[in-house]
Amino acid sequence: MASASSMPMAMPARTSAATLAAPKVPLINPTSLARFVDPLPIPAVARASDQRTHPAYPGRTLPCYRVTMRECKVHLHRDIPATPLWGYNGQFPGPTIEARRGEPLLVEWINGLPPKHFLPIDHTIHGAEHDKPEVRAVTHVHGARAPAKSDGFPDDWYTPGHSALYHYPNGQDAATLWYHDHAMGITRLNIYAGLFGAYLVRDDEEQALHLPSGECDIPLMLCDRLVAQDGQLYYPVSDDPSAPWVMQCNGNLVLCNGKIFPYLDVEPRRYRFRVINVANTRFFDLSLSHDQPMQQIASDQGLLSAPLQRTRIELHPAERADVVIDFSDFAGKSLQLRHEAEGILEFRVRDRGTRDTSALPATLRKVPRIDPASAARQRILTLNETDDANGNAMTMLLDGKRWSDPVTENPRQNSIETWSFVNLTGDAHPIHLHLVRFQVIDRRPFDLFAWNAHRKLVFTGPAISPEPQELGWKDTVRADPGMVTRIAMRFEGEPGRYVWHCHLLEHEDNEMMRPFDLLPAHS
């Protein structure tokens, strides 16, 4: 079989990147909308539909959740006509799945979507060619330690009228995970259309801390969208109708749990917000009005070792931050959550409330550090962009390779490895590895010219330690331009084929994703 590098490239023979086309429909201007007139939606908690057997658990049954991807119409704001979207169980965001550590469950992900896509597919992208069905989906639980057959491999998509039964062992610490579509070549469109929801893992150790719980424990899924004045979702396209892909997708409307400028009535007590960046490209720069501090208690893969007081929280796509906000000093007043300088969610604090029995302990959970010296393998992997003469990106690659090139990352089960991401591009890329949790070791500036000339790493400054909020377990790391970002992980989980990729969805869809094979511990 011919290797991908010897085959003709599927990309169109272009010499310049397509430029962003002006929208052909009038879009909603955020300044035209009334602020804080809609209540914040709290996604429904999913309920198991039945009990089923699974070959991994002979002699017992597991709770099974049936979740159907369906077309729906959603009022994003009181003054905007209903917007046609796709949602899990016809909800946007989808229902929250609650799991407990060590208690496996099954989800039947059902594709009940219409046969035609309503967003612009680029058929020049690998995996989205004209011979592929327009509408296809496969769900990935981001951050789950799931077997390869239940991980949502991008090529495992299926069409309307079909479903997949996935098994989640939940053998991992309590954490805020989320699920979303992962279909090859159209992930950016399917998530933009609305296919995402929260997946929370709970455990006894976290429960014993008495953090805010129940109605005071709220997922907050943040994204941005462009919406036409008639309520239709608008996805940006290039000026080339035959190749509409664009390298980023920034909306001018910020949505909190699917609403624009919502409000939330709260009591004067502590609340836990599980903040999840589900945007295609946007990073969020979050703060509270009056410079009120928040206490960050967890990141992507669970609790930090201790609460971290913060006045600003930056979240890149797919990153999470669990924060505790104490409203006890604001009885009868209001407070805003802001992105940059703009209020995106208003908290309205009641005059009085029920007694606050929650706690915010000084220590949360031990996070033992991985010693990079114990790594069985140290990999150096580049982040690349193929640019045109004007510096506009045409394709993004990982380690200079395309999706269809032979697999080159093949760690052994339970081994420790370090991966160093050498960012040769001008962008910060949020890099996500499926299956594993990792620790950020450091970031270090390097000489780009020395690398380009000799493929040699010449550092130009000392290593920079991770920021305090990065000292917990992560599954998505910001790889900054001009830096080598180094992570360490133990490859726990079942052998099989998984993926790693940039979580800027436009990049992921256009070759910035690679498979990796987890090999058995002993061959």
Q: Percentage of residues in the chain with pLDDT exceeding 70?
A: 96
Q: How far apart are CA 203 and CA 187, in angstroms?
A: 31
pLDDT tens digits, 443-497: 999 999 999 999 999 999 999 999 999 999 999 999 999 999 999 999 999 999 9
Tokens of 8: 């003709």
Mean pLDDT value across the chain:
95
Cα 377 vs. chain centroid, distance in angstroms? 27
Please say if the pLDDT value at position 1 is more than 60: no
The region of weakest confidence among 11-15, 94-98, 107-111, 135-139 is 11-15
Residue 16's pLDDT band (cuts 50, 70, 90): low
Render pLDDT for 151-191 as a digit per residue (tens, 0 to 9).
999 999 999 999 999 999 999 999 999 999 999 999 999 99
Place of tokens 């591009």: 425
**Would you state the pLDDT for residue 10?**
39
The pTM score is 0.96
> Is there a cis peptide before residue 93, judged by omega within 30 degrees of 0?
yes
CA–CA dist 523, 143 (Å, integer): 27
Cα(43)–Cα(46) distance, integer angstroms: 9
User: What per-residue confidence (pLDDT) applies to 4?
Assistant: 34
pLDDT tens track for 38-84:
999 999 999 999 999 999 999 999 999 999 999 999 999 999 999 99
pLDDT of residue 523: 59
The tens digit of pLDDT for each residue in 248-262 reads 999 999 999 999 999
The Cα 133–Cα 492 span in angstroms is 35
Whether 12 has a pLDDT exceeding 70, the answer reads no
pLDDT band with cut points at 50, 70 and 90 for residue 103: very high
- Note the residue count of the chain: 523
In the block, which residue shows the tokens 């001008």?
Answer: 426
φ, ψ of residue 330 in degrees (nearest 5): -120, 25
- Confidence tier at 391 by pLDDT (50, 70, 90): low
